Amino acid sequence: WHQGGESGSWEQEDVLGGLDVKLGEQDKKDVTLAITVLGVGPTQGRTNNVNAAVPFQIEVKDGVIDTRYLWLGFFGTVTMTILSYISVKKTVTGQVKIRKTINDSQASEQAQAILGGENSLVKVIVQVQQTSSPILNITLSIRDGMGNQIYSERHPIPVKSYKDSLPELQEYFILKRRGSYGFYVEVTGGIGTILIVKENVKTFSSTRAKEITIDDT
């Protein structure tokens, strides 16, 4: 090539070219394609006779879709789906307020946190890592900020009903007054206990929550 007193060589293996044309509803008619070859030759700058035969192939397609915008929309949709999944998952599972591991057998320990309120569903999960009895006895107790016991219940858990997962207890509460609460768990027949307390939990089932009201008197 020669331009502005400079020259060089140019080589291109891919000599495909294309043109997108969009006609309006009133402009749809027969279209004539005219192709003119301005020059052909090697990259050394010597141009052959333009009247020589130049083989090429033309392909015309109707109803072509510009996939560039489709890919942009696809990746945008995937991104929004991932963000929505993360948001929904966080809303459904709630916020973890307590996660405590109790290693000793038949030990009762307290874990305390500020949570509750009439519009906040509290979920308590007690998982047992190892079992030494066909039936676990899990005692779950809750105390208010003054140390008064407001809930206590013993739950027998058959181990054989948890063949493919760890034995666990799940309980739902509505602590109508938001405040500081202590959660106590005692397990007999098992070793290694994990206590998890969440608030602002959403559930799609008909699980009934235990409502607990603190008496001001």
pLDDT in tens, 135-167: 888 899 999 988 899 999 999 988 887 777 778
Distinct helix (H) and strand (E) counts, the chain: 1, 11
**pLDDT tens, position by position, 50-70:** 566 667 777 777 766 666 666
- C-beta of residue 99 within 8 angstroms of C-beta of residue 125: no
- The CA distance from 198 to 196, in Å, is 7
3-state secondary structure of 166: coil
Q: Give the CA distances from residue 42 to residues 7, 46, 56, 107, 123, in Å, rounded to whole numbers and listed in that order.
A: 14, 6, 17, 89, 78
Is this model's pTM higher than 0.75 or not?
Answer: no
Minimum mean pLDDT among 17-21, 136-140, 186-190: which range? 17-21
Q: Across the chain, which distance is largest between two alpha carbons, in Å?
A: 108
Confidence of residue 91 (pLDDT cuts 50, 70, 90): very low
CA–CA distance, 26 with 24 (Å, rounded to integer): 5
Burial profile 138-158: b = 16 or more Cβ within 10 angstroms, e = fewer:
bbbbbbbeeeeebbeeeeebe
Closest-CA residue to 187 (of 161, 217, 154): 154
Contact in structure between 101 and 194 (CB atoms under 8 Å): yes
Q: What is the DSSP string of 22-68?
A: ---GGG-S-------------TTSPPPPTTS---------SS---HH
Share of the chain above pLDDT 90, in %: 18
Site of tokens 């034995």: 167
